[in-house]
A and B are shown apart, each in its own frame.
Chain A
Amino acid sequence: MGLLTDPSVGHGALTSIFVRHHNRFCILMYIVSVVLFCMLAHYSLSSQTYFSENALLPGLVKGQLNDNTGSSFRDHFRELNAEAQHYETETPHAYLISKFKNLRLETYSHNFTLNYPLKKNTKYTGRNVYGILRAPRSASIESIVLSVPYRAPSSVFPSTLPGLAVMFQIAQFFRQQIYWAKDIIFLVTEHEQLGMQAWLEAYHGTSCGSPGVLDSGKLSGRAGAIQAAINLEIHSDKIGHIDIKLSGLNGQLPNLDLVNLAHRLCNKESVKHTFNNVDGGAIGRNKVNSYYTNLSTMMSMVMTQATGVPDGNHGLFHRFGIEAITLEGYEKEGRGIYSSVFQIGRVIEGMFRSLNNLLERFHQSFFFYLLPSTDRYVSIGLYMPCLVLLVGALFLKAFSTWIQHSSEHKSGDPSAQATIPERLNVGMVSVIILGSHVVGLILLPNLAPAYFTHFWNHIPTHRALLLGYGSLSITSVCLLPIIMNKCLNSFKSSNWVLLHVICLLELGIGLLCVSMHNFSLGYLTALVYVLPAVCIKSSQNRIIVKLLWLIVHPMCSLFWITAYITFTTYPELPISDFLTKILEASSQWMVLSTIDNMIYGNWAFSVGVLLLLPVWTSFWCLMFLPTNVSQKLKAE
């Protein structure tokens, strides 16, 4: 058992095999990782979901929500529609406040202001309205949130008015029940995610984005620690299916128990429920899920999660340790059986009564998972090895490069007794690494974009950003080879193994860190970058490798992704329109991403400029650094 003390580790025969064939091993690991990942969707690797938290007791009670007491759903809906028609673009705050007050809820409104970060003196204001049902059985120490984003008739998104009417109906029913042990907050937000973010920041008295961007205002009514939240987007009073959305900011997911709860209760009320709009079947019904539907569902989840942008207002809760999901009800198209709003209402009632039972906050079950279907999950223990294999390839490459170098040096002429720092060019390497990271820091969303928009203030923001980042990238790509070749001639007799190893290790560790938070983003990035990174050698890279590396430049990757999405959305566009569309789309994506970063603290953009760009630049330098090997060959 010489695990800790045997100094010969790293020099054994097994090691030498790895060192000799490391490229083959890397490729093998890559392929195994991809295959394993695709296998995850299979029945044998995913498992049946279950409730880990016994206190939830879902489905133990019969839903009692009905139309018998007070105003009916129709009344609420008609009234709301009439009110909404008066305000084409605004929210009828006064109506909402009086409505909540009439339901005898403690009613408050909340003002917030957005100082648009990319343009000076541009402000947007908004106002949320919320009512708190004070639980008769507790002292307001815990609460549950039911939220609906208000959408004016002019909004581009589908209407949420039926959902709001359902909320009124539910609030009216809940107010008459004595069993509540947690306060219930009924929240109507404005301006989609912005309103929600402002409300959450005000509730917790903090600011998550860049300072001074979102002025979240103050709340005068609170209800203790929020245990869970449900966001409701019901588009019609005749619902075809309910889609349950999970993906949160930066790829955070809600506790699997909450997700299961929603699916289980939909099942109980015989509401058709889907995940990413794919029906996973249900207990007692025929399973429609084949391997391919499972795989595509899982892939769509990975794609949604990788963006780091929440796919509903629920996604902003996760940061605050609040488990939240969105129930989106799609209109039933055509004829056939539809679900009534009462079924939906009873699903929500069931969920709230289950959450009311909770004694502790959600801490059991999974927080990291992939869902190939509504009732199956892949746990972190199964999907993480896929990424570990990819990162392992990088580490193996770094390891073997280092070992090769050290053995080469020993077997080389022992007369050249250069000290280690000189031999490895520690000074120059650290300059390159530091320089590339400093550039990355400067390009962070809260520094560079403001200068770009200030510099090109006569053109639209998104073009200014594209111009800024694009010109910087092109300059660096073109200039670096020249600088490396011409200015560093004095370093002719050196090799750059240290730089190579550091780049590989940084990429590997960075990917691991990213995937600890957002597996999907980490894995997809690894899929793109690991293969080219493994192909690069410490010296004498062929032109094809350089080209390959150029293709995966972060900006280029952005273009490829937008190109793919544009192509799938508009396949019939002519090539010139197609190109302009890609440029427009990717520049707009950049603007959105910077703004997301500054308001919500989304770090997708930061990962790009703080991890990928520096690593890419360092590798790019490595490829053009002068080496002595070429001279040797020439001499021979």
Chain B
Amino acid sequence: MNAKCLGFLFVFIGPAYSETYSEELFIKPLATGYVYSFFQFTVIREDDSFKHSTLFPHSLGDIIDRFHVAELNVDLTSGLWRHKSWGYPAVDAPSGAEISARFHNDTQDVDKNWYGLTNALSGLLCTSLNFINSANSYESSSDRVYRYSNLPRENVCTENLTPWKKLLPCDSTRGLSSLLNSGRVHNANYHSLGIHFRPLCLAGKCKYELRQTVSLVYDSVFISFNNNYDWSLRKMFGTGLFKTCPLADYSKIYLDTSSNSSVPYLISQEPDYMLKNNIAVYNLNGIFHLSAIVPRPKIVVSELRPLLYTDRFITGFGQEYGGLVTRIYNDHKSSIIATVIENIPWFLPIYYHTLKVTSNGVRVTPKALIYKPGKGRVRIYYLEIVLELAPRSVTEISVQFDYVFLKWQEYPPDANHGFYIGSAIVKATIPRHATSLTFDKSLIVDNLNSTGSDYLICLKTENFIITLPTPDFSMPYNVICLACTVVALAFGPIHNITTKRLKLTTAKYVPGLASVAQKLYVWLENIFWSKKKNKTGKAAVVKVFVPEELSYHPTLGHVSEEFMKDKVDYIAS
């Protein structure tokens, strides 16, 4: 009861600034047999001092406030968005973690704020964003206060989803977020959690918008059990919708029925109204369920043929030389201007002179090119190329690199798994009708209604792993043994040479295997024939030199002949 009262109290004495919250879900069944669903939870507020808020997550507001963040994008993704069979997503995020931020223009030490921000976010979202340092982040070529980084190795899991859901006003108990059950989310072919914060300024008056997004792609193979392309909310998310979030001003589901033209299908519920003829809109108020019966087409559609898509791979084998190739396919009938940003980690030093840009096999010169060479363990290799992609062409950017030996402590525990190389970014403007869902307006409904002709898309290429020269880590024991043996063998003679003075003495015979036998023989001879021989045995051991042997001495080795002569003369005398 007390808590309720307090709640009321807050509502009344709270700030005059208004905050609005809306929940939206956009579902797009694809002709290729996949279902793309995009959740968007939007909070818009008019104030940027996050001292107090009712809907805006306070923990995040605190971080934004403290580190002078003007704009923030965080995406945690598992799986790879496949443009060829899925088309374009609302938010293109590379596999792993990606974060970019723009700080206020008056920020003094941007780097300090950047590391502070990433560390704070890593705590907030249970991610490894704290591994971001100067060696894996870059600043924009034109913008002093912009920072970007991605961590391709980041595994996105339940531990990220739970804190992410905690940021929502209704948590996961009510509304669309109750559909996000971790078990189901992680069974998707692709899932991406996003936090996007930005100011929306119009004529000097600013609003602040926070959008939390989830992109999920389900394969009909796993959600329908009869070899058809059937889907339903329950099959995808494991549950239907029971309660809407009372805090939301706006709670809707949009269903893109454009694939209906190729495969006609049945939807269980009549939409409340249609938008632009092919988008069915459902207002949510209470228990809701949606399912569709989609027959499998006679001819399987395997590609959606997007206008622009990319392909990136490593060439070469072994660990000597390698090449990095990024291909951009332009299927549009007119040329497109595209910007390609490659950020290559320092352990793949690239050779700038091998950079080659070809279009359909013909070498072309880029319109603009910015290259910032990397530095071992400190800075990435940054390459930004602006290109004009000819109509219906394949443009290929290739560059050669070296494999670097790392220090032994720089290898991860599973060194033989390989090292992750993050994605490149391709930015281009394409006609709006070629994209499925745009992301420039605050609400999905605005984006769907938008009438602009062009739209800036940002494609993220695939990640890959490379095998750096990896020592055999089970080896150290053997190496230690071997090294110790060598040291032990070398120690004796070196110690002898350095600590003792060389002094010439009379020859003393060092017994070898053969001479031992000989000695034995002499000894036995002495025993048996001792009476017959003179007692000069010991003196007889002294060797008398024959002239031919002069330059060579049994123990002293090659000694100058003059010396030997002296010695012999001495002995002889």
Interface residues of A (CB under 8 A from B): 1-8, 11-14, 16-17, 69-70, 101-102, 104, 106-107, 134, 136-142, 175-176, 178, 204-206, 220-222, 224-225, 319-321, 359-361, 363-364, 410-411
Contact, CB under 8 Å: B221 / A204: no
CA distance A222 to B188 in the complex (A): 22
Residue B414 contacts which of A12, A16, A205, A359 (CB distance < 8 angstroms)?
Answer: A359
Given contacts A104-B33, A176-B221, contact A361 B512 (CB under 8 A): no
Contact, CB under 8 Å: A17 / B497: no
Contact, CB under 8 Å: A106 / B414: no
Contact, CB under 8 Å: B493 / A3: yes
Ordered by A's residue number, 18 sampled pairs between the chains whose C-beta atoms are within 8 Å are A3-B492, A4-B490, A13-B512, A13-B515, A16-B514, A106-B302, A139-B80, A140-B80, A141-B462, A176-B222, A205-B325, A206-B315, A225-B314, A225-B418, A360-B416, A361-B416, A363-B416, A363-B472
Q: Decide if B562 is an interface residue (CB 8 Å cutoff).
A: no
Contact, CB under 8 Å: B462 / A2: no
CA distance A163 to B84 in the complex (A): 30
For residue B84, give the distance in angstroms from its CB to the closest CB of chain A: 7
Instruction: Point out the residues of chain B lying under 8 angstroms from A138, CB to CB.
Output: 79-80
Contact, CB under 8 Å: A224 / B464: yes
Instruction: Point out the residues of chain B lying under 8 angstroms from A1, CB to CB.
Output: 489, 492-493, 496
For residue B181, give the distance in angstroms from its CB to the closest CB of chain A: 16
Q: Decide if B85 is an interface residue (CB 8 Å cutoff).
A: yes
Contact, CB under 8 Å: B557 / A139: no
CA distance A464 to B405 in the complex (A): 49
Instruction: Point out the residues of chain A lying under 8 angstroms from B408, CB to CB.
Output: none
Contact, CB under 8 Å: B513 / A14: yes
Contact, CB under 8 Å: B554 / A11: yes
CA distance A225 to B512 in the complex (A): 59
Contact, CB under 8 Å: B222 / A204: no
For residue A109, give the distance in angstroms from its CB to the closest CB of chain B: 13
Instruction: Point out the residues of chain A lying under 8 angstroms from B311, CB to CB.
Output: 220-222
Given contacts A4-B489, A224-B465, contact A136 B189 (CB under 8 A): yes
Instruction: Point out the residues of chain B lying under 8 angstroms from A106, CB to CB.
Output: 84-85, 302
Q: Decide if B288 is an interface residue (CB 8 Å cutoff).
A: no
Contact, CB under 8 Å: B300 / A102: yes
User: B417 — nearest CB in chain A belongs to which residue?
Assistant: A360
Contact, CB under 8 Å: A206 / B316: yes
Instruction: Point out the residues of chain A lying under 8 angstroms from B80, CB to CB.
Output: 134, 138-140
For residue B434, give the distance in angstroms from its CB to the closest CB of chain A: 20
Q: Decide if B227 is an interface residue (CB 8 Å cutoff).
A: yes
CA distance A52 to B316 in the complex (A): 29
Q: Decide if B317 is an interface residue (CB 8 Å cutoff).
A: yes
User: A205 — nearest CB in chain B belongs to which residue?
Assistant: B315
Please name 5 further chain A to chain B contacts, defined as beta carbons within 8 Å, in addition to the given A142-B465, A410-B551, A411-B548, sorted by A numbering.
Answer: A1-B492, A8-B553, A106-B302, A176-B222, A361-B467
Instruction: Point out the residues of chain A lying under 8 angstroms from B323, CB to CB.
Output: 205
Contact, CB under 8 Å: A136 / B222: yes
Contact, CB under 8 Å: B300 / A14: no
Given contacts A8-B556, A205-B325, contact A139 B496 (CB under 8 A): no
Instruction: Point out the residues of chain B lying under 8 angstroms from A2, CB to CB.
Output: 493
Instruction: Point out the residues of chain A lying under 8 angstroms from B343, CB to CB.
Output: none
Instruction: Point out the residues of chain B lying under 8 angstroms from A320, CB to CB.
Output: 317
Given contacts A3-B489, A4-B493, A14-B513, contact A107 B302 (CB under 8 A): yes
Q: Decide if B558 is an interface residue (CB 8 Å cutoff).
A: yes
CA distance A95 to B188 in the complex (A): 31
Residue B548 contacts which of A16, A140, A205, A410 (CB distance < 8 angstroms)?
Answer: A410
Instruction: Point out the residues of chain B lying under 8 angstroms from A139, CB to CB.
Output: 78-80, 95-96, 462-463
Instruction: Point out the residues of chain A lying under 8 angstroms from B221, CB to CB.
Output: 104, 175-176
Given contacts A5-B496, A14-B512, contact A141 B420 (CB under 8 A): yes
Q: Mark B258-300, 1 if CB is under 8 A from A, else 0.
A: 0000000000000000000000000000000000000000001
Contact, CB under 8 Å: B465 / A134: no
Q: Mark B514-530, 1 if CB is under 8 A from A, else 0.
A: 11000000000000000
Instruction: Point out the residues of chain B lying under 8 angstroms from A12, CB to CB.
Output: 512
CA distance A17 to B417 in the complex (A): 54
Instruction: Point out the residues of chain A lying under 8 angstroms from B82, CB to CB.
Output: 134
Instruction: Point out the residues of chain B lying under 8 angstroms from A6, CB to CB.
Output: 493, 557
Contact, CB under 8 Å: B554 / A8: yes
CA distance A361 to B551 in the complex (A): 61
User: A322 — nearest CB in chain B belongs to which residue?
Assistant: B317
Q: Decide if B555 is an interface residue (CB 8 Å cutoff).
A: yes
CA distance A176 to B33 in the complex (A): 13
CA distance A321 to B466 in the complex (A): 12
CA distance A223 to B470 in the complex (A): 23
Q: Decide if B131 is an interface residue (CB 8 Å cutoff).
A: no
Contact, CB under 8 Å: A178 / B300: no
CA distance A204 to B320 in the complex (A): 14
Contact, CB under 8 Å: B189 / A204: no
Instruction: Point out the residues of chain B lying under 8 angstroms from A141, CB to CB.
Output: 95, 418, 420, 462-465
Given contacts A13-B513, A106-B84, A176-B221, contact A222 B33 (CB under 8 A): no
CA distance A69 to B224 in the complex (A): 13
User: A8 — nearest CB in chain B belongs to which residue?
Assistant: B557
Listed residue (A16, A206, A359) with the most chain B CB atoms within 10 angstroms of its CB: A206
CA distance A3 to B414 in the complex (A): 41
Contact, CB under 8 Å: A205 / B496: no
CA distance A449 to B113 in the complex (A): 68
Q: Mark B209-228, 1 if CB is under 8 A from A, else 0.
A: 00000000001011000010
Interface residues of B in 409-467 (CB under 8 A from A): 414-418, 420, 462-467
User: A141 — nearest CB in chain B belongs to which residue?
Assistant: B465
For residue B92, give the distance in angstroms from its CB to the closest CB of chain A: 13
User: A55 — nearest CB in chain B belongs to which residue?
Assistant: B414
Contact, CB under 8 Å: A321 / B318: yes
Instruction: Point out the residues of chain A lying under 8 angstroms from B466, CB to CB.
Output: 225
Contact, CB under 8 Å: B79 / A7: no
Instruction: Point out the residues of chain A lying under 8 angstroms from B557, CB to CB.
Output: 6-8, 11
Contact, CB under 8 Å: B313 / A222: yes
User: B548 — nearest CB in chain A belongs to which residue?
Assistant: A411
Interface residues of B in 544-573 (CB under 8 A from A): 548, 551-558
Instruction: Point out the residues of chain A lying under 8 angstroms from B417, CB to CB.
Output: 359-361
Top 10 closest A-B pairs, CB basis?
A205-B315, A7-B557, A1-B492, A13-B514, A139-B95, A360-B416, A139-B80, A13-B512, A5-B493, A363-B416
CA distance A220 to B331 in the complex (A): 14
Given contacts A178-B187, A361-B418, contact A104 B302 (CB under 8 A): yes
Contact, CB under 8 Å: B317 / A319: yes
CA distance A178 to B96 in the complex (A): 20
CA distance A612 to B80 in the complex (A): 53
Listed residue (A6, A136, A138, A361) with the most chain B CB atoms within 10 angstroms of its CB: A136
CA distance A174 to B222 in the complex (A): 12
Instruction: Point out the residues of chain A lying under 8 angstroms from B464, CB to CB.
Output: 141, 224-225
CA distance A58 to B552 in the complex (A): 67
CA distance A141 to B474 in the complex (A): 26
Residue A14 contacts which of B316, B514, B553 (CB distance < 8 angstroms)?
Answer: B514
User: B78 — nearest CB in chain A belongs to which residue?
Assistant: A139
User: A178 — nearest CB in chain B belongs to which residue?
Assistant: B222
For residue A173, give the distance in angstroms from its CB to the closest CB of chain B: 11
For residue B36, give the distance in angstroms from its CB to the closest CB of chain A: 14
Contact, CB under 8 Å: B552 / A225: no
For residue A131, give the distance in angstroms from its CB to the closest CB of chain B: 9
Given contacts A8-B554, A361-B467, contact A136 B300 (CB under 8 A): no
Instruction: Point out the residues of chain A lying under 8 angstroms from B189, CB to CB.
Output: 134, 136
CA distance A319 to B318 in the complex (A): 8
Listed residue (A13, A176, A178) with the most chain B CB atoms within 10 angstroms of its CB: A13
Instruction: Point out the residues of chain B lying under 8 angstroms from A8, CB to CB.
Output: 553-557
CA distance A76 to B552 in the complex (A): 85
User: B423 — nearest CB in chain A belongs to which residue?
Assistant: A139
Instruction: Point out the residues of chain B lying under 8 angstroms from A220, CB to CB.
Output: 311
Contact, CB under 8 Å: B227 / A70: yes
For residue A204, give the distance in angstroms from its CB to the closest CB of chain B: 5
Listed residue (A12, A14, A359) with the most chain B CB atoms within 10 angstroms of its CB: A12
Instruction: Point out the residues of chain A lying under 8 angstroms from B465, CB to CB.
Output: 141-142, 224-225
